[in-house]
Amino acid sequence: MIAIREPKDFAEVFKYLGELRREVGTAEFLRICFNLGKEPSAAGTWWKLCLVLGAASGLFVLTMLITVGHASFNTSSDGINWGIAISTYVFFALTSSGLTMIAALPLVFGFRQFQPVAKRCIYLAIITLVAGFSVLALELGHPFRMLWAMPTGMQVQSPMFWMGVFYSIDLVLLIWKFYLIWQEDWDSPLAHLLGAASFVCVIFASGMLGMVFGSVAMRPMWFGSFTSIYYMLTAALSGAAAIVVTSYMAYDFNRNRMPEPLKALAESPDLPKVFATLIGIALVMILTRFWTGLWSNLDGMEGFHALVRDPLFHAEVWLGLALPFWMMLSPSMQTQPGKQLIAAFLVLGAMFINRYEFIVGGQIVPMFKGNWVSSLISYTPSLTEWALTVFGFAMALGLYALGEKVFHLSAVPDQAVYPEPAKA
């Protein structure tokens, strides 16, 4: 019987797939590929769902882009320039950065109790970044032109240029780092160097993504160095939420199926404490941002008044952040698997709303359009834009399921010694 898990390289993958096809025939081979294995599994179910969802949404987006072009988006020169596609990209890019930050806890800062999630974090950071880049590429007018125009232009004044530079370096470092962990190299000097470089890189990358918005003085709802800090810290929060959700997802939302090291981490209050701290920081930052926004009479800040009247904003703050904050602080709830999962799902949802509300909300005050656009701009994403968002999520989740099936994402170094988990 042929089986594959943790192949040494891609050659081994293709060799295995070729042999499998010869052994079972093409039809059966395709069925196995669609099911992501011969036996049903949690990863296989997610893979199938995402394959269907991704193919449907991706084909729809491509058809619309080919037949109608970007006019199928509800963005406009007199309205919202950057819509939900950009906020989805930002959501994925920052989640990726956050996952790298969480991975840095054991890999850079020596908190070994977080080692069971390190490999999964790195893998997820890669695929969320790839999903984000894919959504961005479909939003851009000329994505392929960017590949030569950016390095030949060298516009070092542009935050977007540096965002591209740092996220590209980040992706390379992440893949390299994952390769080393795949080869079970956790502790070599190169592995440590890569871990540290990768951490520094995502700090710059997420900060520079914040600066894309924070550097534009004519958009006062975004302007200021606060935005970079806000992006870095909320990135860590969405990374923490993503790793909790996916760790449970890998074991069919059942903690008892987890391997011992991961189970020990899930049962200890360490991760909930980190999680609660990050939610608390995000809440304080949102409070101060809206406080100054609502207080200020500065031209262009009127959008804050509209945002607080939006039910989505309240869903984000109360349901998506305050409730999980309380759940993860409470000693009786913080280690319960159900509560951890609900908190993580709510926070992920809140972060998605947060990116949307930040990016679209920052543009709702019209930019010198007079009575042609005399009130705050209303924007609803088009079906194509929603499909692009769904495509991004299907891609991230599908690739995650694939990784879960092929790699041992809960792997820990053999010689690892775990501190006794703290009791709740």
* Cβ closest to other proteins, residue 140 vs residue 315: 140
* Cβ closest to other proteins, residue 302 vs residue 316: 302
Q: Is 210 near other proteins (CB under 8 A)?
A: no
Of 76, 225, 288, 378, the residue at the interface with other proteins (CB under 8 A) is: 76
Q: Is 288 near other proteins (CB under 8 A)?
A: no
Determine the Cα–Cα distance for residues 36 and 19; give it in Å rounded to an integer.
16
Which of 224, 220, 222, 167 has its CA nearest to residue 198? 167
CB of 329: closest distance to other proteins in angstroms? 38
Binding mask 340-379 for other proteins (x = CB under 8 A): -----------------------x-xxxxxxxx-xx----
* Cβ closest to other proteins, residue 209 vs residue 397: 209
Q: Is 218 near other proteins (CB under 8 A)?
A: yes
Which residues 6+ apart lie within 8 Å of 11 measured at CB?
Answer: none
Structure tokens at 144: 């392929």
CB of 299: closest distance to other proteins in angstroms? 4
CB of 413: closest distance to other proteins in angstroms? 40
Phi/psi at 159 (nearest 5 deg)? -60, -30
CB of 70: closest distance to other proteins in angstroms? 4
Of 21, 48, 70, 273, the residue at the interface with other proteins (CB under 8 A) is: 70
Determine the Cα–Cα distance for residues 143 and 4; give it in Å rounded to an integer.
36
Q: Is 299 near other proteins (CB under 8 A)?
A: yes
For 40, 231, 298, the CA distances from 219, given in Å and listed in that order, are: 51, 17, 11
Q: Is 223 near other proteins (CB under 8 A)?
A: no
CA angle 3, 251, 392 (to 5 degrees): 90
* Residue type for position 260: E
Question: Which residues in the 88-147 window bind other proteins by CB under 8 A?
Answer: 140-143, 145-146
DSSP per-residue letters across 310-323: -HHHHIIIIIIIIH
Residue written as tokens 């969480």?
A: 102
Q: Are 95 and 242 in contact (CB under 8 A)?
A: yes
CB of 223: closest distance to other proteins in angstroms? 11
Which listed range, 63-71, 167-175, 270-278, 313-321, lies at the site for other proteins (CB under 8 A)? 63-71
Residue written as tokens 């440590």?
A: 192
Which listed range, 216-224, 317-325, 344-352, 395-403, lies at the site for other proteins (CB under 8 A)? 216-224
Determine the Cα–Cα distance for residues 53 and 259; give it in Å rounded to an integer.
30
Size of the site for other proteins (CB under 8 A): 48
Of 40, 153, 259, 331, the residue at the interface with other proteins (CB under 8 A) is: 153
Question: Which residues in the 397-416 window bind other proteins by CB under 8 A?
Answer: none
Answer left, alpha or beta for residue 36, where phi above 0 means left and psi between -120 and 50 means alpha.
left
Of 82, 111, 176, 345, the residue at the interface with other proteins (CB under 8 A) is: 82
Q: Is 384 near other proteins (CB under 8 A)?
A: no
Q: Is 78 near other proteins (CB under 8 A)?
A: yes
Of 13, 34, 52, 81, the residue at the interface with other proteins (CB under 8 A) is: 81
Binding-site ranges for other proteins (CB under 8 A):
69-71, 73-78, 81-82, 140-143, 145-146, 149-150, 153-155, 157-161, 164, 212, 215-219, 299-300, 302, 363, 365-372, 374-375
